[in-house]
Amino acid sequence: MCWTRSRAAQRGAASISSTTIGPSDLSMDRSDRHFTSDSGATVTLTARAFAKMAEFAAKRSQRETGGILIGHYSEDLTIARIEAASDEPPDSRAGRTWFVRGQVGLAEILQRAWREGRYYLGEWHSHPGASPAPSGPDLSAIAKMARHPTFICHRPILVIIGGNFHQQPLLSATLAAKTGVTTQLRAELYSNEHERLLR
């Protein structure tokens, strides 16, 4: 999977404040992150998965990195819960503003997840020191994946982590439908009571 970032996306953090979680909202070791759409779809990114993404991104902070997202859906398929984020496969290629995810080792990761009752939910990648807003090529890539017949995924999710990975990471989340239409999700904050309901 290839991800690239436009110059506009690198500068556009202020234009997507409704879809990102900023530093004042973050508690890297405590709370899950929730994103919603107008149609009622919810994506929950667990604190553990988010921490792993930030760790992997910080380790390669001079270039982009990424991997796959693993978790499960609610019975009615309206809630996706991301419980794990993989590191980049060793055959991945990357630069400061682009990333091509490799495939080596992913089959084993997904087989193990399947045995645990978890599944492939989508992709994540980083935008070092920049906005987590998806670029045009980012959206095209996840839309193409959604339409591809070999990907068995209800609605692929794209999570991008940007900003300062050590101190102030920012997030965006996008859903792709089988038609190829993408929807950027709003960041939401829930009380503990709501978080329990979403689990």
**Known active-site residue 83:** no
What is the 8-class DSSP label of residue 138?
H
Which residues, 6+ apart, have CB-to-CB distance to 112 below 8 Å?
A: none
Which residues, 6+ apart, have CB-to-CB distance to 149 below 8 Å?
A: none
Catalytic residue among 64, 83, 88, 123: 64
Please check whether residue 83 is in contact with residue 72, taking contact to mean a CB–CB distance below 8 angstroms.
yes
- For the chain, helix (H) and strand (E) counts, in that order, are 5, 12
188 closest CA partner among 90, 64, 42, 66? 42
Pairwise CA distance, residues 35 & 80, whole Å: 10
Q: Which two tokens stand for residue 76?
A: 């009615």
Active site residues per annotation: 64
